[in-house]
Amino acid sequence: MIQPVESVLSAGPGETRGMSRPSGTPEPAPSFAQLFGRALDRVGELQQRADEAVAQFVAGQGVDVHDVMIAAQEAFLALQLVVQIRDKAVEAYQEMMRMQI
């Protein structure tokens, strides 16, 4: 099953997203650091799942080659997304540092 890009940044287990809050109290928006941390955790999970699929395939445990390739590609694309986000954040920081006051 192919997951949308939003799933990389989705809330993890045990978080309050989707739970009811007292009326009049807005849910605080997660910070960039929290979102980026979750994305890194998700990339690690995807890479671990891809590594396990490769190990099972090599051991001959009945894993299809297309499942291995899909898991590896998901991990690769998630990593590329996180790298692009990091690059844009660094670029934005450098641009702010070049601004004259």
Query: pTM of this prediction?
Result: 0.66
What are the boundaries of each domain within the chain?
37-101
Angle, nearest 10°, between helix axes 32-58 and 65-98? 150
Residue 14 has pLDDT above 50, yes or no: no
Above 90 in pLDDT, residue 53?
A: yes
- Distance between CA 79 and CA 75 in Å, rounded? 6
pLDDT at residue 13 is higher than 60: no
Per-residue model confidence (pLDDT) at position 16: 45
Residue with tokens 């702010």: 96
How far apart CA 45 and CA 28 sit, in angstroms, is 26
Q: Residue-wise over 74-96: b if at least 16 C-beta within 10 A, else e?
A: bbeebbebbeebeeeeeeeeeee
